[in-house]
Structure 1
Amino acid sequence: MAKVIAVSIQKGGDGKTTFACNLAMAAVKAGYRTALIDLDSQGNAGVTLSGNGGMHRIKEGGAQQIYEEDVPKFTETESGVFILHGHSWLEEIDYRENVDVETLALREKVRTLPFDYVIIDTPPSSGPRQMAALLWSDLVIVPVKAQKFSMIGLSKVLEQIKLAKRRNHGLAYRVVINQFVTSSSEQNQISEELREQLPGVVMKVFKSRVPVSDMLARGLPVWEYKKDKALAQEWYGFCTEVLHLI
């Protein structure tokens, strides 16, 4: 039975794909057979892991297979992660007849895929594909910036998680404050308020660091950054901790 982790936030730019890709690559590094399903029509996770800048413009081999194929054909990447990539045609799923019923029926299919871990990157807005990831998963990681507009996205995804738990009773979630700027009084205040409002849920605070995005652009995990061993250990340690939560 695969362990399924979704990465979700209803706002772009808060690090959703960064965490999804690093979690998947950490699972591979730890020796687990790992897949990533990219349900985001922008397809950034698939582009990152495949190294193919045009992957998001290809429908064949994409994440729609979860809905359309009895045995989805995953693409193996150089990172060792098997992917069903994202692309713009995924938006057609949102308009399928009885998509909510179909999504629930697919939960067992996703959880019995031949992998130890399945990581799901989600769209940055509410809809059937985001809810699908929440219904299929054991755990949701919610990356969020300590900023006003990100708090709106956080509140929306927490509402979606609450709805999903009506059907997926064991669903757990953790919040990660990302790209934190220590010199910002606003971000310090918001971070403190989050910890008070969500005791035991805020798992980690990651400071804003350029190497994180630079490594992702190269399709590499943060721990491959050799110039800062502390940063590398921080990210790999976090990803390992997440994997062991389920």
Structure 2
Amino acid sequence: MIVALLNQKGGVGKTTLALHLAGEWARRGKRVVLIDADPQGSALDWSQQRAREGQARLFGVVGLARDTLHSEAPELARSADYVVIDGPPRVASLMRSALLASDLVLIPVQPSPFDGWASAEMLSLLGEARIYRPQLAARFVLNRCGARTVIARETAETLADHDPPVLTSTIGQRVTFADAARSGRLVSEINERSPAAREITALCAEVGRIAP
């Protein structure tokens, strides 16, 4: 299964979610490859920091920020249970290629009036990809949510009848995600009983139930 984290808007937490989904599946014994398709290379930086900190490697991270993803990702998928693509912001050609490569697209959005709606271009690219990949599944995922805030609830309600729909699982705005990014770790490795770790577990389970 190839899962891509995509959004034209930067700063919505694509890399954090991509790393934690890949890490959670790997901790469950799945074979996982993460493709860093963002020219900034944040996932690769995390992997290198993990190695410097002496942490065991959980999954492979491959830098592949080019518009041949749709032909190269399926090759990687042959030897993996999951391929996770950390997508680029604002690079339409890379976005198109990632969409064509994927079985499932997750669109992270933050609970705000602007992030509540994916950009028109993102939805246009998704519609275009579905011409060639009619079975391509897509979901919004609410990320960096304040606990029980009105705006988070309103954003979820706004997206409830939207296409794509929104996942039930949400991810909170938590300092431990920043700590994990700096140290090359996962939140479950910092504290597996933390709210952040529980949220990632729930997200991973819900994503796993979506048939490609």
Q: Secondary structure at the match of 1:170?
A: coil
Moved more, 215-224 or 172-181: 215-224
* Range moving further from structure 2, 154-163 or 7-16: 154-163
CA RMSD in angstroms, aligned pairs only:
2.7
Q: Which moved more, 1:121-130 or 1:185-194?
A: 185-194
Give the 3 Å change call, closer, same or farther, for CA 170–199 of structure 1 in structure 2: closer
Mark the runs of 5 or more structure 2 residues left unpaired by the alignment: none
Query: How does 1:103-182 map onto structure 2 within 5 Å?
Result: 105-106=71-72, 108-112=74-78, 114-151=79-116, 153-182=118-147
Deviation at 1:171, TM superposition (A): 0.9
Distance 2:71 2:44 in 1: 25
What secondary structure sits across from 1:51 in the alignment? helix
Q: 1:233 to 1:185 in 2, by over 3 A?
A: closer
- How far has the Cα of 1:46 moved from its partner? 1.0
Q: Which has the larger radius of gyration?
A: 1
TM-score normalised per structure 1: 0.73
Q: Cα offset for 1:196?
A: 3.4
Identical pairs, percent: 29
In the alignment, structure 1 segments of 5+ residues that lack a partner are 54-76, 95-101
Counterpart in 1 of 2:39?
41
TM-superposed CA distance for 1:15, in Å, is: 0.8
Q: Deviations over 1:112-164 (max 9, x none)?
A: 3x222111111012411111111011111111102233245454322221111
Question: Could you tell me the TM-score, scaled by structure 2's length?
Answer: 0.84
Aligned to 1:233: 198
Secondary structure at the residue paired with 1:148?
A: coil
Query: Which residue does the alignment assign to 1:82?
Result: 60
Of 209, 214, 219, the match for 2:179: 214
Shift of the 127–199 alpha-carbon distance from structure 1 to 2, 3 Å rule, reads closer
SS of 1:84's partner is strand
Indicate if the aligned counterparts of 2:2 and 2:102 stay in contact, CA closer than 8 A. yes
- Name the CA shift for 1:50/1:187 in 2 (closer, same or farther; >3 Å): same
